Amino acid sequence: MKVFISWSKEKSEKYAIRTKALLESVTPKIESFVSEVDIYAGEDVQDKIIQKIVECDKLVLCFTRENKRAPWLLFEAGYARALKKTVIPLLFDPDSNWHSWVDNPMNVAREVNFNHPDFVSTFINTFGVSDTPSNRKKINAYMLSINEIKENFRAIDICCEDLVEKLAHHDAFVAESPTFRDKTAHFLTGFESFDLLKIVTESFRYTGKHLWVYGRKNMKLFSGNFQTFLTYLKEKAAYEHLGMDGIDFRCLFLDPESEEVERAHLHQNIFKLELETTILRARGAIGDNTQLRECFKFYSNKREEVIIRLDNSIILARPNFDANGRPQILTDSAFEVFGAMSPKGQECIKKFEEVWANAKPMY
């Protein structure tokens, strides 16, 4: 059996080379081709690739998030399908909607999912490999090596990938964003926006355990656009003996009676009125539920960072202050996303917990 292994971009290339080595180690009946190692100096690259696709029995696509719409990858897949070859998308990144990555003709091919629990059996059946303890051991070793490559190429901690992926595919955050540095995603715009809070609260409602908000007036949360989220909190707070039914929601308001109110905004009179109005709305939403009341507190310290914790992800923005020490407006400003267990994440958690411990009850 001749197998053409298609790749695009550096990480996918490394996956392809490891896949070639595995296929040739589990059976002598497979001859595999990877352009990076099987095209030699002086050969015409395009002609050699076309020739190998014509000769192959199966074409394997090494798909990742980074290369999912790479033109050359899709060209090779389309050319192979036109020749009636068996085309196998090998998915290295989890995505239940992977078909939306690509256009025809690839969105009709049946995939092999590296992240699926039955990957070993699926791999064996797909390539007609003998199901022996030796081959399973080789495939397991291959999986470990693939995970090592993933970790080496990981732009951000794995716990943040879903959140960053959601933000990166939203129109409000994609203008030259995000960039990655030191396992941190840097977004140029969108902080404290409706879009960001919508993504955060929806993620929390579906799968979240922790949601901490170190805000000032939290006006958008109580503007009427997040009624579903507030209803969810009330439902969780209905089980008094369970303590919010397993979730950890905390929300900090600036104390309207504190001296910090005078320095918290360029227009302090307007700010204080908005703060007091939002607190009234929050109290109306909280009602007389004692569990939910414990989720809200007032702080009076100067806020030098804005922290949102969503499970094991931290969303952080740092306000800029004018000559009088008043912070500039943060809505739609830049922000960062990084792991809660990272050193920077642990600093943010420590800071939040210090403020929370020193804050006073809202009631």
Q: Which residue type occupies 340? A: A
pLDDT tens per residue across span 275-313 = 999 999 999 988 888 889 999 999 999 888 899 999 999
pLDDT tens per residue across span 80-116 = 989 999 999 999 987 655 555 455 445 556 789 999 9
**Helix intervals (H) in the chain:** 10-26, 35-38, 45-55, 71-82, 119-126, 133-153, 161-168, 194-207, 227-237, 268-286, 290-293, 343-358
pLDDT mean over 309-330: 77
Q: What is the pTM of this model?
A: 0.73
Interatomic CA distance for residues 9 and 17, integer angstroms:
13
Judged against a pLDDT cut of 90, whether residue 323 lies above it is answered with no
Going along the chain from its start, the domains and CATH numbers come out as 2-153 (3.40.50.10140), 158-361 (3.30.870.10)
Which comes out higher in pLDDT, residue 191 or 340?
A: 340
Which comes out higher in pLDDT, residue 276 or 41?
A: 276
Judged against a pLDDT cut of 70, whether residue 120 lies above it is answered with yes
Q: Which residue type occupies 358? A: N
When pLDDT is cut at 50, 70 and 90, the band that residue 326 belongs to is low
